[in-house]
Each structure stands twice: as structure tokens, then as C-alpha cells.
Amino acid sequence: MGGAPGILRVVFEPGPAASPPSWSCLEPWTAVRAVTVADIRGDLAAPALEVALCSDFVVARKGDHLLFPPGKEIPSAGLLWAAGRAGRRGLALALLGGGPVATAVAFDRGLVHTLLGKGEEFPCLDGSSRAALTAARDLLRSSSCGTGALELELATFRFLFALGEPREGALAFLERRAPRFHR
């Protein structure tokens, strides 16, 4: 999936459970160049759950549930990949939890990145710097750790400053106007 980086926001409404998608269906979603945002509204089951959790940013509503497979079922490859990306606590929840998981618990375990109230809308990222969002996405997706991660973060920081994006953001704030970032 080529093209210019941007933002791909998908709203996930509650729906009936179905058989999980194959990894070949999910892999393009994880490799898309756009910053992917899953906006979960209501209880969410497979296969939509696997796709939503493979997003760069996962937004859910308080009081809703992520409907993981029952304890005796092995989670799909997409769910295991997303849970593993969240860390040991997220992976343990996917492997051992089973059944409905409150979004507050999923947030605590790193599977959900932002919790909103029931009627609350997700803040739009359209006015944000595409370069900064794409750089943040790339840093999130990298598997670097330790010194390598710090060097990658510093290189990204220098790149963004060279583009002038931080200067424009600061000037726009001081001048009380909308920023005009490079697209």
C-alpha cells in the first residue's frame, strides 16, 4: 500500500462475532504508510477486534468491552501480534484473559491508547503535522530498544527540526493562529 503518508481513521461499531481473519488479510493494515487510528465505539469482537488492535493508535470508550475469544480458544495471529506489541501485560491478557475485557483494563495493559467518555468524539488529527505524525508512527513501529532506540529518536527529532515543523507550531501557538504545516 503505497502513496503519501497520511491519516487513516476507521470507526469500529459493535457487530456480530465472526471467524478471525487470516494474517495475510491483516498484514497490509500493519504495513500501510498512513498513521492508522482505530476509533472503537461499543463492544467489539473478532474479526474487527484484531484489525482495530493492529492500528497505531487505538481509541475506545469507557464502559465498553473488547470481546476476546473464550479462554479455551487460541487467539488469532493478528490479536497475538497486537497484544505482543503492547508488551507482556497485554500479551498475558490476550492469552490468559479470554472473554469480555473492559476497555479500562485494556487501557491499563497497553492495548488501548486513549479512553473517551460515552458521547465524546475523538479529536481530529487533520491539522497536525503529517511529518511529525508519520515520524511518531515510525518510532512506534520500530523494534529498537536501548541505545539504538535513543539514536533513532534523536535522528527523527533532528529531521523534524530541519523541516521547520516545530518552529511553525510554536509560532502558530504564540500568534494564536492555526499552524500551516508542510503536507
Mean per-residue pLDDT pooled into runs of 10, the chain (183 residues) = 60 68 62 80 86 87 89 79 85 82 92 90 70 76 77 82 76 84 65
- Chain-centroid distance, C-alpha 49: 12
Classify 168 in phi/psi space as left (phi over 0), alpha (psi -120 to 50) or beta: alpha
Domains of the chain with CATH codes: 7-116 (3.90.226.10), 130-174 (no CATH)
Cα-only R_g, the chain? 18
The conformational region for residue 128 under phi > 0 = left, psi -120 to 50 = alpha, else beta, is beta
pLDDT for the residue 3: 42
pLDDT of 28 reads 65
